[in-house]
Amino acid sequence: MADDQGKKQLLHLVFGGELKTLTSTEFRDLDALDIVGIYPDYKSAEAAWRAKAQQTVDNAHMRYFIVHLHRLLDPDAGNSGRS
């Protein structure tokens, strides 16, 4: 499961939405979730996350998250300590 340069894919999902409260991770409207994309490594996912977070900085209830999909796809490998 390596890419063209021999580096292993570690898929990450970036998504976000408006939260019901500032102290929870419950979304106000699931139909309005913003699926930013799926990225082959943490570095590119973090760049996308930062860009979306910066665009929504004026809305305190808007939050974006990075999900380590590779850990969900292969839970045993997810405990290796890599991002």
The residues spanned by each domain of the chain are 12-80
How much of the chain exceeds pLDDT 70, in percent?
84
pLDDT digits (tens, 9 = 90+) for 48-79: 999 999 999 999 999 999 999 999 988 776 55
Average pLDDT over residues 17-38: 96
Could you give the angle at the alpha carbon of 79 between the alpha carbons of 26 and 47, nearest 5°? 55
Per-residue model confidence (pLDDT) at position 8: 82
Per-residue model confidence (pLDDT) at position 1: 47
- Domain 12-80 homologous superfamily, CATH: Uncharacterised protein PF13773, DUF4170 (3.30.70.2400)
Half-sphere exposure of 56 (CA within 13 A, CB side): 18
Q: Is the pTM of this model over 0.95?
A: no
Alpha carbons 12 and 41: distance in angstroms, whole number: 6
